[in-house]
Amino acid sequence: MGRKTKYLHKKEQLNLTVTPETKERLQHIAVALNISRSELIEKWTTAWDELQSIGLLGESLACSGKQ
């Protein structure tokens, strides 16, 4: 029996470069949620609009002067 997929499209590999601290933090969050780091990123991007992250990012950029 084949494995069921949660996504409409086949996943593609993505290589990211992050600091060791960020890598560790991603791992801690993923472990706490009992998911992989890849799944954590999938969930974060899916929830981006729902969490009003775009508005929060705009506020953050405005405060830091990086508009």
Residue entry with tokens 């954590």? 40
Of 51 and 28, the structure prediction assigns the larger pLDDT to 28
pTM, 2 dp: 0.63
CB 55 within 8 A of CB 48: no
Which SS3 state, helix, strand or coil, does residue 4 take?
Answer: coil
CB 56 within 8 A of CB 44: no
Instruction: Answer yes or no: is pLDDT of 58 > 80.
Output: no
How many C-beta atoms surround the C-beta of residue 50 within 10 A? 7
pLDDT at 48: 73
Of 27 and 4, the structure prediction assigns the larger pLDDT to 27
How many C-beta atoms surround the C-beta of residue 29 within 10 A? 13
